Amino acid sequence: MLKTSLAGCQNCDIIKTSEYSQKCEMNGNEPIASELTNGCKADITDDSVDPHKRCHYHHKKLTFREKHFKRRASLLTVLMEKPDMRALRSFIISCFILMFIGSLLHDSIAYKNPLNHFWLVVWNFKQLPETLLVWTIMAMSTLLPYSFLKMWSTTPCKQVTLRRESPLIALYALYLLSLFCFPLVFLFKWRLNCACSFIITCENTRIAMKVHSFIRENLPRAVRMKLAAKDDTTKHESLDRFPSIAQLAYFLFCPSFIYRDEYPRNTSRNWRLVLIYFIEVLLTILCTNLVFIQMIYPRFNSVDYTKATISFMVDAIFASILPGLLCLLLLFYGLLHCWLNMFSEMLCFADRQFYVDWWNSRNMAEYYRNWNLVVHDWLYAYVYRDIAMVIGGKKGLKVAQTAVFLLSAAFHEYWFGTSLRFFYPVMFVLYFVFGGKLFTFPFVEHFSQRIIASSSALMSKSFMLSQLG
């Protein structure tokens, strides 16, 4: 990806050339999602696509769309305006209130302490202050690549080549490696518990993705500034201004992995709504705690696995499907809806389409992409598109698709394996094999489109079985 970035910068832009900008209209998430849904196909075969919205690379009829930000609300926000959805939400809340009352009564009788079941939350977050300190260091480290790129852009140079800039590429790779290694040293040295470990592993991944997007989007601009500086002219400085630290800070906290100098923003923020989202995030954590305390912990806490029979294990595993599904739904609502909308409201970020209707997905591959559009946009822009452009042709599309699913599966395994302290590659199998790679084989792709895609019941069953992991 770095090679692609620097090599293309000799023409002052890798992807967004003036010709590209004129030929391509930015269409948002829907075309991108559909483009990757059916085998990541980027060939121009659909005559219904507006020719003004196409982009042709060399002699290959391939189209790659830019991310287009626009004002739009999250899907659940729109759905919650309907009385039926509000009634369903009230019913779900009532169920968790009953679970909470049951835990209060049980703890009062058994432990003489009605809040005894909060021990799991305390255990998970007792090292939160130390974790936030490490997070602050990780966030501040983004000033290093920012400063280096800014300083590099102001250094005069007649020509920018890959060989000449290879030491800087090596330094950038070393920074990314350090961003993962040093937090992990802290994680294992302080023996962080599950939740704090997830914070460290997910945040160093998020920050690395943010930094890479910032570098990739601003490298062409930096090259133009660098080449213009050799003439001691200020002509290009008025056209190309390096992003400010304020812009970097906004990008670091806004719910997008694609850097832009400007985003569509609302004129005002509602702090009451921010507080509501924050409270809902806390409530999803407490609801997850109830699921573990009442449905998972009692079943597995006293089990002697050296003497457990196959019959017991089968019963226990299938009995865990429902609590696993509840935890997944709570994760979706708490993180992808409440948490991202909370930061959007604080930052007046107007584009809040973080997901689409993944519950209507016709196969697992489509579900994994519709589940999280924020990450999907990054994978499309900096992994799939770059690899497909470098290799070219149908082979490039297949290799790019495989790389996307492989990278996603590897990082899911990294998060869960590091945080839970054991290697159990069920996540890798679900994301790489059943979630994506399986659907690249012609027979399986044809079968999924003709049979599985026509049966939402089969999709629901496979989705629930996937919670075994």
**Which pTM was predicted?**
0.80
- 417 class by beta-carbon count within 10 Å (0-12 exposed, 13-18 middle, 19+ buried): middle
Q: In angstroms, rounded to a whole number, what is the distance separating the alpha carbons of residues 177 and 458?
A: 42
Q: In angstroms, rounded to a whole number, what is the distance separating the alpha carbons of residues 242 and 220?
A: 11
Q: 3-class SS at 265?
A: strand
- Under 8 Å between Cβ of 330 and 291: yes
Residues of the chain with pLDDT under 70: 1-61, 231-239, 365, 434-469
Q: Is 412 a catalytic residue?
A: yes
Q: In angstroms, rounded to a whole number, what is the distance separating the alpha carbons of residues 62 and 64?
A: 7
Q: In angstroms, rounded to a whole number, what is the distance separating the alpha carbons of residues 149 and 58?
A: 30
Write phi, then psi, for 25 (nearest 5 degrees).
Answer: -95, 140
Residue 114 CB contacts under 8 Å (≥ 6 apart), including other chains: 104, 105, 107, 108
Q: In angstroms, rounded to a whole number, what is the distance separating the alpha carbons of residues 451 and 188?
A: 47
* Rg of the chain over all Cα atoms, to the nearest angstrom: 24
Catalytic residue, chosen from 117, 212, 337, 412, is 412
Predicted confidence at residue 440, as pLDDT, reads: 52
- Does residue 37 lie in a domain region? no
- Under 8 Å between Cβ of 300 and 292: no
For residue 187, the surrounding DSSP H or E stretch is helix 166-189
Predicted confidence at residue 435, as pLDDT, reads: 63
- Does residue 246 lie in a domain region? no
- Does residue 433 lie in a domain region? yes
For residue 324, the surrounding DSSP H or E stretch is helix 321-331
Domain count, the chain: 1
Domain limits for position 410: 356-468
Q: In angstroms, rounded to a whole number, what is the distance separating the alpha carbons of residues 94 and 9?
A: 57
Upper half-sphere CA count for residue 194 (Cβ side, 13 Å): 9
- Does residue 179 lie in a domain region? no
Q: In angstroms, rounded to a whole number, what is the distance separating the alpha carbons of residues 4 and 97?
A: 53
Structure tokens at 176: 């990314």
> How many residues does the structure list for the chain?
469
